[in-house]
Amino acid sequence: MKIVVIGGTGLIGSKLVKRLQAKGHEVVAASPSSGVNTITGEGLAEAFAGAQVVVDLANSPSFEDKAVMEFFQKSGRNLMAAETAAGVKHHLALSVVGTDRLPESGYLRAKLAQEKIIKESGIPYTLVHSTQFFEFMFGIAQSGAQGDKVHLSPAMMQPIFSEDVADALVDFVLGVPLNKTVEIAGPEKIRMADAVGKYLRQIGDAREIVVDRQTRYFGAILDDSSLVPASAAWLGKVSYSEWVKTATPPPRAH
């Protein structure tokens, strides 16, 4: 098959592209740097010519409420129009467990708007809701940083390793469109404050963790069910407890 991966050079996209190519598929790793821009529409028609499947892993450069809503709505509409014109048979998008449960979050409201565009497009689809990636722990810490302390929710989460995310996506990309939402998660539940605390200690970050139920996560107050999938989720193999033992600091931004 010809498969186009929007965001094909990112953390998950680059892993997915390699896995699909190894199985013999023609894969286009599409991104603005390769001349494919979902906001302007540049390069979409050329990339989608002859494609059977489009995988959307694009993320907004800004998480500010208005900007992120504009990004996902404009990107979603442009993708659906170009896919309809090209006769694409399956659209798969990666989203977030809890998207439909946390309307206070501007980011998740935008993801929900993206999903609505997909569902109403008429193109067969699969929506994959993932829990937070292990690699997001430093970003979660920074979102709660106040001076030399890090304020974090004690809510349960069930984070997943990026390699397991890519494995799951291969299964769904090569399967039939489900026309519904499926959930993927890691094998282990852990409280957000504990998960981030273990990561910070592992990388030698001595900031104090302050456990605070009122700390918001992307604008939302969490409870123990907010970020945890239903019982029928696809589960990864790698546990957070094992991964964090060898975790390294995030790469410095250039």
pLDDT in tens, 144-194: 999 999 999 999 999 999 999 999 999 999 999 999 999 999 999 999 999
CA distance 217 to 211: 13
CA distance 162 to 133: 6
Query: For 198, left (φ over 0), alpha (ψ -120 to 50), or beta?
Result: alpha
Q: Which amino acid is at 203?
A: I
> Both tokens of residue 172?
């769904």
Residues whose CB falls within 8 Å of the CB of residue 161, separated by 6 or more in sequence, listed in order: 133, 134, 186, 236, 237, 238, 243
E strand segments, 34-111 = 53-56, 90-96
Name the token pair of 193: 């404050």
The type of residue at 148 is D
- CA 137 from chain centre, in angstroms, equals 14
Judge whether 250 and 138 are in contact, CB under 8 Å.
Answer: yes
What is the mean pLDDT of the segment spanning 235-243? 98
Contact present, 4 and 47 (Cβ < 8 Å):
yes
Residue 200 near residue 249, CB atoms below 8 Å: no
pLDDT band for 254, please (50, 70, 90 cuts).
very low
Q: Which band of pLDDT confidence, cut at 50, 70 and 90, is reported for residue 229?
A: very high
Mean pLDDT of the chain: 96
Helices and strands in the chain, H and E counts: 8, 14
Task: Write down the pTM of the prediction.
Answer: 0.95
What's the longest Cα–Cα distance across the chain? 54
Q: Is there a contact between 51 and 88 (Cβ–Cβ < 8 Å)?
A: yes
d(C-alpha 104, C-alpha 106), whole Å = 6
pLDDT tens per residue, range 52-111: 999 999 999 888 999 999 999 999 999 999 999 999 999 999 999 999 999 999 999 999
